[in-house]
Amino acid sequence: MSFKQNFLWGGATAANQFEGGFDADGKGLSTADVMTAGSFDTARHITWRDPETGETGYTELTFGGKRVAPEGTVPAVLAGEFYPSHVAADFYHHYKEDIALMAEMGFKTFRMSINWSRIFPNGDDEKPNEAGLEFYDHVFDELKKYHIEPLVTLSHYETPLNLAIKYNGWASRKLIGFYTKYAETVFKRYTGKVRYWLTFNEINCMDIMPFIAGGLIDGSVQNRAQGAHNQFVASALAVKLGHEIDSNYQVGQMLAYSQLYAMTADPADQLKTLKQMDDTLFYSDVQTGGHYPASRLAYYQREGVRLADSPEDYELLAKYSADFLSFSCYTSNVVTTHEGEGKDVGGNMSMGLANPYLKNSAWGWATDPYVLRIALNTLYNRYRKPLWIVENGLGAVDQIAEDGKIHDDYRIDYLQQNIASMRDAVTIDGVDLMGYTSWGCIDLVSAGTGEMSKRYGYVYVDQDDAGTGSLRRLPKDSFYWYKQVIATNGDDLSN
Ligand code: BG6
């Protein structure tokens, strides 16, 4: 047994990290456009301005729900600051070259996102921006030329900034209407060009990074709960609309899946691990399973959360759950109740405690040779819906060697272990897997740190952390290795 004949091999990107052209052809600002660059041990900043006094400042981006701009101020682009999303890898002007490289690797699919503020610059505009729609027409036409099937995320870590400022982002139910209008616009426009859609990237990140995942300036527990609820309803409406507009459309969920392991056999550690996994799986229970789990409702009651909802919301959630469940999965993490035990992996977006059985990347992310098999089994047993791994990969520093090439054996090693694990889930455990798109197939900006030097690609992009470089593309050794993996449908992983 092996992968299906039509298995969708490819790579993944997100507009705000890849596209650049942040103000080109009528695009409006998004939440990503006001975030500066950080590093392994320094946080990214969200810059703001007081419209009354002109005072400026910044807030550090950290996990949690603290306000990202003080009362009376608004997130803003400030002169003299560097914002990595503004140029990124400049796919906006390199898409032909980039798609040709993907075709050379034999990609069957390409995961990308549409930048919402390219289509509706303020989010609440009456009419869409035709130039923005045309850009994606060109991209989809180019993909079609090479028979590469797009997988399109409607909202990947960027909300039109105006919606964040005016409505506190997804905390407002108004966003459901703006989003469904946007979804309807692109669903109608790209019929025949796109078949696979994802509604929200890593929807569960609403809990830990509410500004990034939902445009929430005030990410209180109440606002996060409401933000998630509003996205669930919007997602269900997108599934409904998608099916009505084109019966070929498949509209999926996208979950950030991180496997947690208890550090010890202490039942208290086991319980903590189970409850933290529940915090992630709550999001797929609703969006893919169609129902709120009792544990989340009990949590909301304890926290005094009151959802602005209606009985129709719950009918929609049950009736229009996602067609398939896609997820990102890079690593696993360790959990314990034993204060002071275990070694912290460190870093600005800390991944928790180190696993003594695994090796960590320079950013503290462990390479786990079993994680994809565990993830795939967990999700398939729970929902019995087709799965799709839409992000996986190794962020590492790459050096151009004396021979002018990039010998990224460390990346190949990571991918070999992960693809083998995914293959076991399919061939041994019988999981229904639609495809695999590794993250950042062409180098792009890191979401967590804003760095360019945390590279995931098969193709190097000459651009540094300060936004300087020729943007020249250079295939790495992994480019030729992945080409062979795709050509053999995952049978030959050798280097
Ligand atoms: C996922 C996101 O969380 O992980 C991507 O969907 C992100 O947007 C990726 O880039 C890798 O994380 P990072 O912080 O290394 O870019």
- What is the distance between the alpha carbons of residues 58 and 42, in angstroms, rounded to a whole number? 14
Question: Which domain covers residue 363, as residue numbers?
Answer: 8-21+86-487
DSSP helix/strand/coil, 459 = strand
pLDDT over 70 percentage in the chain: 100
The catalytic residue among 19, 142, 149, 202 is 202
79 assigned to some structural domain: no
pLDDT band at residue 281 under the 50/70/90 scheme: very high
Per-residue pLDDT at 201: 98
pLDDT band at residue 319 under the 50/70/90 scheme: very high
299 assigned to some structural domain: yes
The catalytic residue among 60, 391, 402, 451 is 391
Per-residue pLDDT at 271: 98
Atom 1 of ligand 1, nearest CA residue:
328
What residues contact residue 187 under an 8 Å CB cut-off, 6+ apart? 197, 238, 241, 242, 245, 246, 249
Please write the tens of the pLDDT for every residue from 65-94.
999 999 999 999 999 999 999 999 999 999
Atom 10 of ligand 1, nearest CA residue:
447
- What is the distance between the alpha carbons of residues 46 and 139, in angstroms, rounded to a whole number? 30
Q: What is the mean predicted confidence (pLDDT) over 228-241?
A: 98
Neighbours of 4 (CB within 10 A): 13
495 assigned to some structural domain: no
Pairing of strands 359-360, 366-367: antiparallel
Per-residue pLDDT at 20: 98
CA of 448 to the centre of ligand 1 (A): 6
Question: Is 80 exceeded by the pLDDT of residue 1?
Answer: no
DSSP helix/strand/coil, 130 = helix
Q: Which atom of ligand 1 is nearest to the CA of 447?
A: 16
Per the annotation, the verdict on 391 as an active-site residue is yes
pLDDT band at residue 346 under the 50/70/90 scheme: confident
Per the annotation, the verdict on 142 as an active-site residue is no
Pairing of strands 250-256, 196-198: parallel
Per-residue pLDDT at 350: 76
Q: Which atom of ligand 1 is nearest to the CA of 445?
A: 16
Q: What is the mean predicted confidence (pLDDT) over 218-241?
A: 98
243 assigned to some structural domain: yes
Please write the tens of the pLDDT for every residue from 176-192.
999 999 999 999 999 99
- What is the distance between the alpha carbons of residues 213 and 233, in angstroms, rounded to a whole number? 16
Q: Which atom of ligand 1 is nearest to the CA of 363?
A: 15
283 assigned to some structural domain: yes
CA geometry: angle 425, 426, 428, nearest 5 deg? 70
Per-residue pLDDT at 470: 98
Q: What's 353's domain CATH number? A: 3.20.20.80
CA of 88 to the centre of ligand 1 (A): 14
pTM strictly above 0.85: yes
Question: Is 90 exceeded by the pLDDT of residue 355?
Answer: yes
Number of domains in the chain: 1
**Across-strand partners of 391?**
328
Mean pLDDT, the chain, whole residue set:
97
28 assigned to some structural domain: no
What residues contact residue 390 under an 8 Å CB cut-off, 6+ apart? 12, 111, 151, 198, 254, 326, 327, 328, 435, 437
292 assigned to some structural domain: yes
Please write the tens of the pLDDT for every residue from 235-271.
999 999 999 999 999 999 999 998 999 999 999 999 9
493 assigned to some structural domain: no
CA of 456 to the centre of ligand 1 (A): 10
Residues in the ligand 1 pocket, defined by CB under 6 Å:
14, 17, 157, 201-202, 256, 328, 391, 395, 439, 446-449, 454
Question: Is 80 exceeded by the pLDDT of residue 104?
Answer: yes
Per-residue pLDDT at 422: 98
Q: Which atom of ligand 1 is nearest to the CA of 440?
A: 10
CA of 399 to the centre of ligand 1 (A): 21
Per-residue pLDDT at 390: 98
CA of 446 to the centre of ligand 1 (A): 6
